[in-house]
Homo-oligomer: A and B are copies of this chain.
């Protein structure tokens, strides 16, 4: 699913050079970059792009459902372009490496009705933590 630019254009997203560069940086399925990392990579292609613009573009991509915000460490949020296939994250507690994982079954069904306290539950985020092969 690498036609991010196409989809954005088709949805009437006004295409500026800045937005194009941000989308290109995120294109591909296995990155989980912070806003400042996105900015750094964007600057390599378009030196004048500002931090505010990167934040704006990321916020819009999230609103459009093309990118997911992930916060696994209580520090900077990470931006995940793998928004079209539901998945969870496996995080190394030492080096911070993040892997996409696909648990068996729907994690939502693990929460029995009597544990929902009248809530309308619509989403679930799961973060598995441990040590990666390199850090173990």
Contact = CB atoms under 8 A, between A and B. Distances in A.
A52 interface: no
A47 interface: no
Contacts of A129: 121-125
> Which interface class (under 10, 10 to 19, 20 to 34, 35 or more) fits A?
35 or more
B120 A128 contact: no
A136 interface: yes
B115 A102 contact: yes
Interface of A: prevailing SS: mixed
A90 B111 contact: yes
- Tell which of A101, A110, A119, A125 has the most Cβ of chain B within 10 Å: A119
Interface in A55-70: 69
A74 B122 CA distance: 19
Nearest to A123: B129
Contacts of A2: none
Interface of A: 69, 71, 74, 77, 90, 92-93, 99, 101-105, 107-108, 110-112, 115-133, 136
